[in-house]
Structure 1
Amino acid sequence: MGTPTDEDDGVAVALRDAVRTLTLDSPHNRNALSSRLVTRLYEELDRAEADPGTRAVLLTHTGNTFCAGADLSEASARDAPTDAPLGLAGLLRTLVAFPKPVVARVTGHVRAGGTGLLAACDISVAGPGATFAFTEARIGVAPAVISMPVLPRTDPRAVARYYLTGERFDAREAARIGLVTCAADDPDEALAPVLDGLRRGSPQGLAASKQLVTREVLAAFDRDTDTLAELSARLFASDEAREGMTAFLERREPEWAVRQTPAR
């Protein structure tokens, strides 16, 4: 995808043919949205916006996980920052309002907050190895902040099921419900005409066209950010969530999990 021009703290950057690729590269925590990774994404988006040679941003990943969501090691700490949900909301809104198209290439797992990152992108292509799940309810929280980009773009009946059950689903189902633009056996082949089309668009035309298709999503951010960030912070600070996060990190069932009685 081009010669890397910068790499530090979990995000590798490359610029080729007017497309700036930001590669999430934090394998130790499955590209979780740590405070440092969020900061680095902000920095690179600022650079992309200021660079007249960048026509579009391509967000992708190394390893078998696109993004695991919140960094539970950070979130479960007693001194965890209480403004983390507002920070995530700010990042997602920045992607939605970004004046240049943001495209996602996903070939691995997407969980919880990672689905919000994906939903904030304008166009997304998922490969056959991609899987998706809204796992928040299983650890005692809810997909609050990420609902702002997710709900306006997805099928409400399907999202009700996946929000509540935490079930895993594949790329074709993600495309069917609107979480991604399309599923493809070869994501790079599917992306080629997309990126070519973006290179042919004028900067002004692309920015104005993006404003038309993101209006409802931005309205959700303007209306709900404070309420949903407060809800998220309150849930993460609860005893139930602390048990859920601890259970996840210890690879065990949380205390509330009910095992199904085997049929006789």
Structure 2
Amino acid sequence: MTPIARTRARAVETLSLDATATRNALSSALVSGLADALTDCGKDPEVRAVVLTHTGTTFCAGADLRDPPAPEALVDLLRQIIELPKPVIARVTGHVRAGGLGLLAACDLAAASREATFAFTEVRIGVAPAVISLCVVPRTDPRALARYYLTGERLDPAEAVRLGLLTTTAEDVDEALSPILDGLRRSSPQALAETKRLLTAKVLETFDRDAADLTALSARLFSSAQAREGMTAFLERRDAAWVV
């Protein structure tokens, strides 16, 4: 069964991360399935925009520690979202952790309900937010980001808006998205594609410059002794050995 559910309404394709048993963690299968769905959307002239959302109470729990994708595959997926010639809008009504924040930052717009929570938890399992930095760092406030990168603390939707991770937050996320989607439906497909290219140019420069180095860093950290201890502690629901 595919981990991506698909629906369409008035030229907007909705892709839902649908692996609730793993809290929509970024497994090899989920990354591959999402990439395939995005490819279809990019080729389909009937699709004006893409909404990326989720089933269950978690948008994405980060990397699947039992079946993680290769760092290169995650880089390719993030770049695919950024380069897709159609706007991609994240719709979040649950929790977002670690690599899931890379998906959020890769999207052109992002809206979340007030119940959503966010955290860069990589440092707590012995790794770093390396690959996702390709799209997170260019789109966020650097001083505010430093706190959450270094501590792994949770932030709420209002703080995520201030940081630059979200476009907007509301009690009713669909109500908040309605005027955005209506605006996209009224816009020329050609104009949307070219305007998106203007908005993403600086982010893609970061990919061109840093992707190889950050991919290597991610692979090195995930194979380290501290990462093994951190991931084991997480799966066993205990503190890692370095916690004081």
Normalised-by-shorter TM-score class: over 0.9
> Cα offset for 1:130?
0.5
Partner residue in 2 for 1:108: 94
Tell me the residue number matched to 2:52.
Answer: 59
Counterpart of 2:110 in 1: which secondary structure?
Answer: strand
Match for residue 111 of structure 2?
125
2:163 aligned residue = 177
- Of residues 74, 88, 92, the one that matches 1:88 is 74
- Residue 74 of structure 1: CA displacement? 2.1
Unaligned residue ranges in structure 1 (runs of 5+): 1-7, 76-80, 259-264
Distance in 1 between the 2:38 and 2:93 partners? 22
Aligned to 1:45: 38
Q: CA deviation at 1:46?
A: 1.0
Three-state SS of the structure 2 residue aligned to 1:194 is: helix
| One-letter code aligned to 1:52 | P
Q: Matched residues in 2 for 1:51 and 1:94: separation? A: 15
How far apart, in 1, do the equivalents of 2:36 and 2:137 lie? Answer: 27
**Residue 215 of structure 2 is aligned to residue 229 of structure 1:** yes
Deviation at 1:88, TM superposition (A): 0.4
Q: Secondary structure at the match of 1:229?
A: helix
Aligned length in residues: 244
Identity of aligned residues (%): 64
Q: Which residue of 2 is the match for residue 19 of structure 1? A: 12
Greater shift, 106-115 or 45-54, is seen at 45-54
Partner secondary structure for residue 74 of structure 1: coil
Q: Which amino acid aligns with 1:21?
A: T
Q: Distance in 1 between matches of 2:176 and 2:141?
A: 23
Partner-residue secondary structure (3-state), 1:72: coil
Question: Aligned partners of 1:146, 1:110: CA distance in 2, in Å?
Answer: 13
Is 1:246 equivalent to 2:239 in the alignment? Answer: no
1:144-173 C-alpha deviation (Å, 9 max, x unpaired): 000011011111011100000000011110
Aligned twin of 1:213: 199
Shift of 1:185: 1.2
* Distance in 2 (alpha carbons) for counterparts of 1:146 and 1:26: 21
* DSSP-derived class of the 2:182 partner: helix
Say whether residues 1:159 and 2:152 are aligned partners: no
Poorly superposed stretches of 4+, deviation over 2 Å: none
How far is the alpha carbon of 1:184 from its aligned partner?
1.0
Question: What is residue 5 of structure 1 aligned with on the other side?
Answer: none
Q: Distance in 2 between matches of 1:212 and 1:243?
A: 43
Task: Give, in whole Å, the separation in 2 of the partners of 1:125 and 1:108.
Answer: 11
Question: Match for 2:154 among 149, 152, 168?
Answer: 168
- Residue 10 (structure 1) shift: 1.2
* Structure 1 match to 2:22: 29
Distance 1:184 1:98 in 2: 27
- C-alpha deviations, 1:112-132, integer Å up to 9, x for none? 000000000000001011000
Gapped regions of structure 2 (runs ≥ 5): none
Which amino acid letter does the alignment assign opposite residue 85 of structure 1?
A: P
Structure 1 Cα separation of the partners of residues 2 and 22 of structure 2: 12
C-alpha RMSD of the superposition: 0.8
